């Protein structure tokens, strides 16, 4: 990856870490193979602790303007990092690989007023991740065959401790 692309990627990651959000709804998506279930998670951008006195809907819209692109990028990065090969995709899989800015841009679309990121397989990694961000500050994150991985990504983005004491 070029230095310029790396710098842009770092800026998108920095932007995403400034986005406050809450999960408003989550649904398990069943599949023919019960082990292949996915999730649909609905999110809303919300005021940070410094913005707590502001109108939530106004903050959500403002956050969508400056933060949606970075938010989608960081979810793409987390999905890629967590993704594993499946069947024939193992031929293209490299353990030490990273999600590139070009990977993100290639899968980014503006559809019916929404910013969409849709990743199936990327260099041997089975991502199966779809994200839609809307101008009203709501986001839908869908994964297929990834279990509850999407919830872990969101927890990491919020800085929650994922380690647990074993008794």
In eight-state DSSP terms, residue 32 is S
Q: How far apart, in whole angstroms, are the C-alpha atoms of residue 59 and residue 8?
A: 25
Cα-Cα end-to-end distance for the chain: 44
| Per-residue pLDDT, 103 | 95
Alpha helices in 18-136 (DSSP H): 56-82, 101-106
| Per-residue pLDDT, 11 | 94
| Per-residue pLDDT, 111 | 95
In eight-state DSSP terms, residue 96 is S
Q: How far apart, in whole angstroms, are the C-alpha atoms of residue 141 and residue 90?
A: 25
Q: How far apart, in whole angstroms, are the C-alpha atoms of residue 16 and residue 20?
A: 9
What is the model's pTM? 0.89
Could you report the average pLDDT of every consecutive run of 10 residues in the chain (167 residues)?
88 94 93 81 92 88 96 97 80 82 96 96 93 98 93 91 57
Q: How far apart, in whole angstroms, are the C-alpha atoms of residue 132 and residue 114?
A: 6
| Per-residue pLDDT, 165 | 55
Extract the tokens encoding 94: 């490299």
| Per-residue pLDDT, 54 | 85
In eight-state DSSP terms, residue 145 is S
| Per-residue pLDDT, 50 | 80
Extract the tokens encoding 153: 């990504």
């Amino acid at each position: 990856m070029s230095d310029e692309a790396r710098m842009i990627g770092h800026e998108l990651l920095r932007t995403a870490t400034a986005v406050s959000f809450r999960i408003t709804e989550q649904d398990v998506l069943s599949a023919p193979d019960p082990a292949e279930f996915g999730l649909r998670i609905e999110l809303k951008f919300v005021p940070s602790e410094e913005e707590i006195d502001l109108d939530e809907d106004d903050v959500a819209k403002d956050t969508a303007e400056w933060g949606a692109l970075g938010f989608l990028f960081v979810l793409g990065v987390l999905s890629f990092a967590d993704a594993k090969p499946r069947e024939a995709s193992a031929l293209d899989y490299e353990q030490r690989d990273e999600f590139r800015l070009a990977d993100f841009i290639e899968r980014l679309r503006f559809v019916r007023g929404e910013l969409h990121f849709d990743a199936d397989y990327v260099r041997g990694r089975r991502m199966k991740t779809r994200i839609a961000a809307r101008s009203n500050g709501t986001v839908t994150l869908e994964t297929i065959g990834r279990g509850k991985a999407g919830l872990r990504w969101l927890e990491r983005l919020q800085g929650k401790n994922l380690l647990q004491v074993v008794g």
